[in-house]
Amino acid sequence: MAGTFDRLTGLGLDISARGLDLRDIVLPQIGSTRIEGRIDLVGRITGSLAASAVAIEASAADLTVNSLRFDSAAGTIRWADRTLRLDPVDLRIGDERYKISGQVALAAAPRISLTSSVTGGRLSTLLGLAGARLGVPLDGTINGTATLDGPVANPAARLELAIPAGRLGDHPLAGHVDLTLRDGAVTIQDLEFKFRQGRVAAAGRYDLGGESQVEVSGSDLEFDVLRPLFKFRRPLLGRLDFTMQLSGTLAAPELGLDVEVTRGGVAGATFDSLVVSAFHRNGLLHLVQGLLNQDGHKIRASGSIPFNPKSLRFDDLAPLDFRVSLADVNLSLLRLLTDRVEDARGDVHGTLTVGGTVAAPRLGGGLRVDGGTVRIRGVRTPIESLALNVVFDGNTIRVAQASARLGGGMARLDGAMRLALAPSNGAMLEIPQDTPVVLQASNVRLDAPPLVNARFDGSVRLWGALGDARRPLTTDGRIVASEGTLTVAGGPPGPGRIFPLTFQGLQFVAGRDLALQVGGLRFSLKPEGALLLTGTMASPLLDGTVEVQRGAVTVLGNTFDLQEGSATFRPALGLRPQISALGVTQVGPTRITLEVHGTAPDALTLDLRSDPSLSQPEILALLGRQSGISDLLTGDVAGLLRAEITRRLLAPVTLAIGRALGLSELTVDYDFERPLRLTVGKLLLPNLYVTATTTFEEHARWLWALEYRFAPGWQFAFRVGQDGRLTAIFWYATRI
C-alpha cells in the first residue's frame, strides 16, 4: 500500500497484493459454500474517510468454489456511495464462461440489481457452484441469463435459459426455461424439453403463500426416459403420455396424475397398455384406476394409501385400503419382473386386499395357478404342471399348495410366512423356525449346463426373516444327488451380490453314479458319502469326503497312475483335509507304489515301495534316472509327489469354494515342507488379477499383488509385502 492522505484533497492510496490466500481473509459465509485459491489484486482508494471510494481489479488462476476449480477468474469491484458494484466479474472453465454484473445498494432500504449470464456453460457446473445434486443423470450445455432486481428482502427474479444439447441418462434432449419470481410466487412462462421422441412441457404458477396451479405434461415420449430417473437396470420399451397437475396451497396441496403407456415392457415381455389415474388430497393417495392389459389379460388395482408427497413417506398409523384383482392373467407377466424367466405360460387367478395400517397391514384374498409352465434362462429342465394356491389371511401368507414336475420328478413347497414391520420401519417377511417353509424333491432331474446334470431327492427347510439382517434366512435339510455329473467351471464367477443366507447343516449325499467333473479329470463321489454345508454364503464350511477316480499324475517326468484317493474335510481343521491316496508307476521292469496318508500339509506320511523290492534311496535314484534330472537325489522328491497329489485331490473343492465366495481364484499350496499357503484372487480386467496370499507360519505373513497374466504361465506383477516393500517381477512358471 502506498499513497497520500490530505485533509483537503482526501485519500489517494494505491493497494496491491500477489498470491493472496483467500483462506487468510475473513470472507462473509455464504451458506455452506467453500471458496479457496490465491488472488492477485490492484486498486485505489479515494475520497474522504467518511465517504471513501474503492476500485479493485482482481484475478485468480486457481479459484475453487465447492471443489470446482476455474481456469481463470477476473473482474472489477467498486465501492462508492454505499453501493457495491461488479463491473463485471468473469469466470471461465475451458469453453464455459460465467459473467456477473450489477450492484447492491446498502441504503436504509437495501436494493439489489444483478445480472448473471452463462455462455457454453454446463448444468453440472452450476450445480457444483451451488453445492447441489439432482440425484438423476441430467447434464447439458447451457446459455442464458438470470436477473435479480428490487428490495433485498423481496427481489424479483427472471431466469431465461436455453439447453441446446443435453442428456438424461443416454437420452439426448434440448430445451428452454423461462421463469419469473415475484412476491413469493414462481410463474412458469415457458418450460419445454424435446427428446429424440416426444416432449415435456410445463406452465402455471406456484405460490409459496397462496393458491398454486401448475400443469406438467409429456406426450409421445419413449417409456425408457423413466429408466435413468428410477434407476431401472433393463431398457424399457413403449410410448409414454402423462399429465400431472398441482393445485391448492403449500400446507394442503392437491395432486392429480394420469399416465398411459402403450406397447410397453422389456425385451421379450411386453404389454398392450398401462393406464393409471390417481390424485392426492388430505394426506391420502387415491388410485382411481390402475389397469395393465396384455392380450386380453388384465390386472386391476384401486384404493387409497396414506402418503406424504412432501416428505416422500407413508403414514404408518393412518388407515389404508387397497385392492388388486387379476382377470384372465397369464404367467407370461413374470418376464416383466425378471429377465431370468425365458418363457412362462398358464392362467393366474386371484385378488389381494390390503387393509389395516402401513405399520400393521391386514391381507385378504388369494392367488391360484393351474397347469403352468416356466422356463428359467440357463436351465434346460422346464418347470411343468405348476399348481399354486396361496392364501392371504391377516398378516399371514400361507402356501396351501405349490407343486410342479421337473425332469420327470415332483417338487413340492409347503409353509407360511408373516408380514411384519422391520426394525428399519420397512416391511419384512418372517418365517418362524418351528413352522419353516419346506421344499421337497422326489426324483427331480435338473439340467443346468455347464454346472449340473443330475437327479435329486430330499427336502430343505427355510426359516428366518427377509428384510431383517439380524435374523437372516437359514436353511438345513438333506439332498441326495445321483445319476449325473456336477461340474466345476474353470472361469471366474459371474457378477452378483452374495445373498444373505445361513447354512445350518445342509447335507449333500452322494447317490449312485454321481461324479464331479473338473476340467479333464472326473471325480466319482463315494456312494452314501456326504458333504455337510455350514456357515454362510459369504463364509461356507465343508464337512465330508471327496474321492477321485483313476487318473495320471506326472511328477519330475514320472507318470503315476492314481488308483484311489480321497480328501476328507472337517470344520475344525479348516482347509487342512485328511489325505489318503495310492499311486503306481512303472520304471522299466520295476513297479513303484506310492502311499500318502495324514493331515495336509505338515503331517503327511509318504511311503515308497517297489516290486522287485528296493530300498528308499534306490527307488529315488531310479525315479531320478527315469526323469533325466541329475540333481534329483538331492531334491525333495517326496515333497513334490505330495504337492502334486494333494493338488489333484483338492482342486474340485477349492474351485467350488472360490465360486461360492465370488472369487476368480482360491488355491491351497502344499509345496515341499513349507507351511500352508492360501491364495485368493479376483479378476479385475481381462488377464489382470489382484491376489492376496497368506502363509500360515508361527507368525502369519501376507502378500498383495497386482498380476498381468498375458500368456499361459507368464505374468508381470507388482507385489507389496507385510514389510511394506514394493517389488516388480517378471515371472514364468511351468510344471516338470
688 with 626, same domain? no
Contact present, 212 and 203 (Cβ < 8 Å): no
645 with 680, same domain? no
Whether the predicted pLDDT of 631 surpasses 50:
no
* Residue in this structure with the C-alpha cell 484317493, named with its chain if needed: 565
Structural domain boundaries, residue 583: 498-651
Whether the predicted pLDDT of 597 surpasses 70:
yes
Q: What is the mean pLDDT of residues 165-188?
A: 92
Q: What is the mean pLDDT of residues 697-724?
A: 76
587 with 687, same domain? no
Question: Is 507 part of a structural domain of the chain?
Answer: yes
Domain end residue (candidates: 635, 651, 667): 651
Higher pLDDT, 715 or 642: 715
Give the alpha-carbon dihedral of 289, 294, 296, 299, to 10 degrees: -40
Contact present, 561 and 571 (Cβ < 8 Å): no
Question: Is 564 part of a structural domain of the chain?
Answer: yes
Higher pLDDT, 616 or 736: 616
Closest CA to 605 of 581, 630, 629, 573: 581
Contact present, 646 and 671 (Cβ < 8 Å): no
Question: Is 161 part of a structural domain of the chain?
Answer: no
Question: Is 601 part of a structural domain of the chain?
Answer: yes
Q: How far apart are CA 467 and CA 417, in angstroms?
A: 13
pLDDT bucket at 166, cuts 50 / 70 / 90: very high
519 with 626, same domain? yes
601 with 551, same domain? yes
Q: How far apart are CA 56 and CA 77, in angstroms?
A: 5
Q: What is the mean pLDDT of residues 414-430?
A: 81
681 with 636, same domain? no
Q: How far apart are CA 715 and CA 590, in angstroms?
A: 40
Return all residues near 542 (Cβ < 8 A) that are at least 6 apart. Answer: 531, 532, 533, 569, 571, 653, 657
The least confident of 81-90, 408-417, 654-663, 710-719 is: 654-663
621 with 694, same domain? no
Question: Is 217 part of a structural domain of the chain?
Answer: no
Question: What's the pLDDT tens digit per position in 305-353?
Answer: 888 766 667 787 888 899 999 877 888 878 777 778 888 888 899 999 9
> For residue 736, what pLDDT is reported?
46
The least confident of 274-283, 620-629, 716-725 is: 620-629
Whether the predicted pLDDT of 446 surpasses 90:
yes
Whether the predicted pLDDT of 105 surpasses 60:
yes
Return all residues near 494 (Cβ < 8 A) that are at least 6 apart. Answer: none
> For residue 658, what pLDDT is reported?
53
- H helices present in 314-459, as ranges: 334-337
Closest CA to 139 of 166, 119, 163, 113: 166
> For residue 632, what pLDDT is reported?
45
Q: How far apart are CA 366 and CA 647, in angstroms?
A: 55
Whether the predicted pLDDT of 608 surpasses 90:
no
Q: What is the SS3 string spanning 244-307?
A: EEEEECCCCEEEEEEEEEEEEEECCEEEEEEEEEEEEECCEEEEEEEEEEECCEEEEEEEEEEE
568 with 504, same domain? yes
Distance of CA 235 to the CA centre of its chain: 17
> For residue 535, what pLDDT is reported?
81
606 with 685, same domain? no
Contact present, 430 and 468 (Cβ < 8 Å): yes
Q: Which range, 145-159, 212-226, 242-256, is most confident?
A: 212-226
Q: How far apart are CA 297 and CA 325, in angstroms?
A: 11
Higher pLDDT, 618 or 374: 374
pLDDT bucket at 625, cuts 50 / 70 / 90: low
Domain end residue (candidates: 616, 651, 686): 651
Q: How many domains does the chain have?
A: 2
> For residue 519, what pLDDT is reported?
47
505 with 608, same domain? yes
Q: What's the predicted TM-score (pTM) here?
A: 0.61
Residue 156: φ, ψ to 5°: -95, 145
In angstroms, how far apart are the furthest CA atoms of the chain?
A: 127
- Intra-chain end-to-end CA distance of the chain, in Å: 82
Whether the predicted pLDDT of 655 surpasses 60:
no
Closest CA to 648 of 679, 670, 675, 673: 670
Whether the predicted pLDDT of 191 surpasses 60:
yes
690 with 613, same domain? no
Question: What's the pLDDT tens digit per position in 242-298?
Answer: 999 999 988 788 999 999 999 998 887 788 999 999 999 888 899 999 999 887 788
Q: Which range, 116-120, 316-320, 662-666, is most confident?
A: 116-120
Question: What's the pLDDT tens digit per position in 470-499?
Answer: 888 999 999 999 999 877 543 334 444 456
Q: What element of type H or E holds 432?
A: none
R_g (Cα) of the chain, nearest Å = 37
503 with 647, same domain? yes
Whether the predicted pLDDT of 368 surpasses 90:
yes
Question: Is 435 part of a structural domain of the chain?
Answer: no
> For residue 80, what pLDDT is reported?
87
> For residue 457, what pLDDT is reported?
96
Sign of the CA dihedral 500, 506, 512, 516? positive
Question: Is 171 part of a structural domain of the chain?
Answer: no
Q: What is the mean pLDDT of residues 570-596?
A: 79
Sort strands 665-669 and 603-611 into parallel, antiparallel or unpaired: unpaired
- For residue 716, the 8-state DSSP code is E
* Residue in this structure with the C-alpha cell 488355491, named with its chain if needed: 667
> For residue 656, what pLDDT is reported?
47
Whether the predicted pLDDT of 520 surpasses 50:
no
Closest CA to 645 of 603, 570, 735, 583: 583
Question: Is 258 part of a structural domain of the chain?
Answer: no
Q: At residue 290, what is the residue type?
A: G
* Average pLDDT of the chain to the nearest whole number: 81
